[in-house]
Structure 1
Amino acid sequence: MKHLNPPDLEALARQLDVLKRQVLDELQGIDAQVPGGKRPSDREVHSHTDDAEVVRIDDVHFAEIEVDRARLHGIEQAQQRMACGRYGLCIDCGEEIPRDRMLAQPTAIRCAACQNSAEGPRRR
């Protein structure tokens, strides 16, 4: 299996930068939205269903933020590993993560075998 060469690392660094910009743009877009969706005015008739819908929209909004924050954290961690020379090494076994896996998933922290083991107990 071929591991990462300097051109691969440069391409992956650019890809991580693009992914980071996309996530930051998404977070900025989410923050620009009015939280809570459309709230009825004092003159409008509203029900508990209306209130529940506002809560549901808020929950979705906050879930989107958490997903984007987790993605951003993963990207930043990958950039830090790249800066300190640990990029592309499995955090569990220490072996090189195959080039194809890194190109497909630039934030990967485990080789496929260790990732399967890590996910094993959660699968049912």
Structure 2
Amino acid sequence: MKQLDSADRRALLLQLESMKRQVLDELRATAPSARAALVERNHEVKSHADEAEAERAADVYMAEVDRGRLEEIKHSIARLTSGRYGICEDCDSEIPRARLLAQPTATRCTACQATAEARRSH
């Protein structure tokens, strides 16, 4: 990608890695409160098996909450290391540098992203 130099790519990789750590930290931090809410919502846990199932359900729920965000970040890191980062997945044009710096997980140029969002809203 011509518009991103090696310093930009390094900075974006560091930003993406930081975003990834943040999502994982949020998952770890919210898991205990999700378990407590799930147990409280189900009233009283009757047995160890019920408690284990409640914990498993809370873990699954929390994993799903940020799974999409985490996958976007991982996908962007993979694209960055493979050389496809900054290329629109729909039209193969370059995604503007300013867009990538503002939204490091962007996989589409502004026009293709607007088209994709318009399709989703209909």
Work out the CA distance in 1 between the residues paired with 2:18 and 2:118: 31
**1:63-88 C-alpha deviation (Å, 9 max, x unpaired):** x5423111110000000001110001
Work out the CA distance in 2 between the residues paired with 1:84 and 1:104: 21
Once the two structures are TM-superposed, the CA of residue 123 in structure 1 deviates from its matched residue by 2.7
> Secondary structure of 1:94's partner?
coil
Once the two structures are TM-superposed, the CA of residue 40 in structure 1 deviates from its matched residue by 3.9
Where in structure 1 are there 5+ consecutive unaligned residues? 43-57
Report matched runs for 1:39-118 at 5 Å. 40-41=43-44, 62=61, 65-118=63-116
Once the two structures are TM-superposed, the CA of residue 29 in structure 1 deviates from its matched residue by 1.6
2:10 is aligned with 1:13: no
Between structures 1 and 2, the one with greater helix share:
2
CA distance 1:32–1:100, shift in 2 (3 Å): same
TM-score (norm 2): 0.76
Q: Assess if the C-alpha contact under 8 Å between 1:20 and 1:75 holds in 2.
A: yes
Residue range with higher mean Cα deviation, 84-93 or 24-33: 24-33
TM-score (norm 1): 0.74
Query: Cα RMSD between the aligned structures?
Result: 2.4
Q: How many residues align?
A: 106
Work out the CA distance in 2 between the residues paired with 1:90 and 1:41: 51
Letter of the 2:28 counterpart = Q
Where in structure 2 are there 5+ consecutive unaligned residues? 46-56
Aligned residue for 2:3? Answer: 3
Aligned residue for 1:23? Answer: 23
